[in-house]
Copies of this chain bind each other. A is one copy, B any other.
Amino acid sequence: MKFKAHINIMPHKELLDPQGKTVTKNMAGVNVDGVHDVRIGKRIEMTLEATDEANAKSKVDTACEKLLANLIMESYEYELETLA
């Protein structure tokens, strides 16, 4: 079976996000007011083959934990879409 995983990897809420802070400050420069908090993470879309949904989840978890996310600073969540 073929699956598509839509993965969001965000910095932990407790951590400062310097890139997000900088973007928040720069909103004034493009005339956008009222922006309080910007947090910037990664969005990953991944197509994979797996025997079933449980197998696909296990693969996505391994990929996130060992390669894509740094669990000390980031947390991940994902949605799995069945393609065929």
Contact = CB atoms under 8 A, between A and B. Distances in A.
Q: How many copies does the complex hold?
A: 2
A9 to B, nearest CB: 7
Interface in A46-63: 46-50, 59, 62-63
Nearest to A8: B43
Interface in A19-78: 20, 23, 26-27, 29-50, 59, 62-63, 66-68
Nearest to A59: B32
B59 A23 contact: no
Contacts of A47: 35-38
A33 B60 CA distance: 10
Contact of A66 (B30, B34, B44, B45): B30
Contact of A40 (B31, B44, B48): B44
